[in-house]
Amino acid sequence: MKQLLTILCIFGVLTTHAQEQQKQETKEERQQRYIEEVNPFRELGYKPKISTLSKGKYREAFPDSIVQIGNFTYNIIEKRISGVTLFEEVGISEATAKPEIVSRWMSPDPLSDEFPSWSPYNFTYNNPILNIDPDGRAAYPIITITKQKTGQTAEQRVLGYTNVATTEVDLYKVVVTDTEDSNFRMEFSITRDAWTVEQGNSTASNVAFEPKDGNVNHFTGKVMDGGYPKGNGTEALKLTQKGSEVVHAESNQTSVNMGYRTKADVASGVMIHVGGNYDKNGSNRVAASEGCFGVCNDNNSSTNQSNSYSNNILKTIQNQADKSVTNPGHIRVVIEKREGNEYPKTKKIN
């Protein structure tokens, strides 16, 4: 019984102490604490003058699940508005509030570099009647090359051999959507690996193109005049970044040794073109790759070539791009970066 009374006494003292501390914090101190919570330079010991919506009356620093948009707080996990600060409570009205207080953007448009003629704070090209923007992406077809294997394989010619050698490579799922047309969706298969053998080496190396950064993995797909292989009637797209076909890539020294790249972490001439067995001027050929992506049908073979399948896919995407109201002809390519053991680096060729 004495032990229980002792514990209760200690608990009471601690509770009273906490309450006293809370009472001792003045309104001004609490407001300053709330403002300090949103100070981006807090760790550096710098205290600039910070303006907040409620001037410290309310807490405006939230956990990662909460974002603030204007005077609303939104729970991105539960997908609901979790709070609101009324203008009347902070002594302003919509008529007298500054524009940045009435409605704040969370951030500038991350794709603003691609559209220098538009303000990074515009919405739906300033035409919300005709256009929608459900996810903040630009308005054109988006080809997403995933790292999800389809379960199918295709034949690929191995580069570097004096005599012809081939190997089987996995096919990966590709999804195409369009932010202007919610009904448009396509799926097709593509090769990602690219096998080559250096002179004097009996083991093949994978010189597949992988984005250097999994977050900076957006490219523009430029339609190639004459397609690829040139003059064969097979459509192709060349990948560019900021208008250049020279793009950053995951480092691959074998690509430099073989002359495919001049620097290990910089690639050029990366394409999406016909893959697997295809017809070239009336003869069956097996596509090779120096780091390109090959569009390939399931059950591909010398009697089930990929020409028609590849052309139908790429022409459909081009036609969809030409329908765009805001960016006619523009095609976006997103490549999911494969990491570590998600793809093979070497293999023996039989």
- Give tens-digit pLDDT for 28-70: 776 677 666 666 556 656 665 655 555 555 555 555 566 666 5
pLDDT band for position 179 (50/70/90)? confident
- Determine the pLDDT at residue 311: 97
Residue 74, pLDDT above cutoff 60: yes
In three-state form (DSSP H/G/I as H, E/B as E, the rest C), the secondary structure along 86-107 is CHHHHCCCCCCCCHHHHCCCCC
- Determine the pLDDT at residue 67: 65
pLDDT band for position 237 (50/70/90)? very high
Domain-terminating residue out of 33, 56, 79: 56
Q: Are 239 and 217 in contact (CB under 8 A)?
A: no
Residue 23, pLDDT above cutoff 60: no
Percentage helix, strand, coil, to 5, in the chain? 20, 30, 50
The answer to whether residue 102 is domain-embedded is no
The answer to whether residue 278 is domain-embedded is yes
Average pLDDT over residues 156-171: 92
State whether 29 and 146 are in the same domain: no
The answer to whether residue 130 is domain-embedded is no
Average pLDDT over residues 267-275: 97
- Determine the pLDDT at residue 31: 66
- Residue 23 and residue 144: Cα distance in Å, rounded? 56
State whether 159 and 49 are in the same domain: no
State whether 178 and 307 are in the same domain: yes
- Determine the pLDDT at residue 177: 93
The answer to whether residue 71 is domain-embedded is no
97 or 258, higher pLDDT: 258
pLDDT band for position 7 (50/70/90)? low
Please give the tally of structural domains in the chain: 2
Residue 13, pLDDT above cutoff 50: no
Distances (CA, A) of 47 to 14, 32, 36, 37, 177: 33, 11, 8, 11, 46
Give the domain range for residue 321.
141-348
State whether 148 and 259 are in the same domain: yes
- Residue 122 and residue 184: Cα distance in Å, rounded? 25
> What value does the mean pLDDT of the chain take?
80
Average pLDDT over residues 172-176: 97
- Dump pLDDT digits (tens) for 90-139: 555 544 454 444 455 555 565 666 666 667 667 766 777 666 665 565 67
Which range of 1-15, 65-79, 141-155 scores highest in mean pLDDT? It is 141-155
Domain-terminating residue out of 27, 56, 85: 56
Average pLDDT over residues 74-94: 63
The answer to whether residue 166 is domain-embedded is yes
284 or 122, higher pLDDT: 284
State whether 146 and 50 are in the same domain: no
The answer to whether residue 124 is domain-embedded is no
The answer to whether residue 62 is domain-embedded is no
State whether 164 and 31 are in the same domain: no
The answer to whether residue 136 is domain-embedded is no
State whether 22 and 171 are in the same domain: no
State whether 334 and 194 are in the same domain: yes
Residue 87, pLDDT above cutoff 80: no
Decide the pairing of beta strands 195-196 and 283-286.
unpaired
Q: Residues with Cβ < 8 Å from 337, sequence gap 6 or more? A: 147, 210, 211, 213, 214, 217, 250
pLDDT band for position 214 (50/70/90)? confident
- Determine the pLDDT at residue 101: 46
Average pLDDT over residues 190-214: 92
State whether 202 and 331 are in the same domain: yes
- Determine the pLDDT at residue 89: 52
Neighbours of 301 (CB within 10 A): 13
State whether 240 and 335 are in the same domain: yes
- Residue 214 and residue 192: Cα distance in Å, rounded? 16
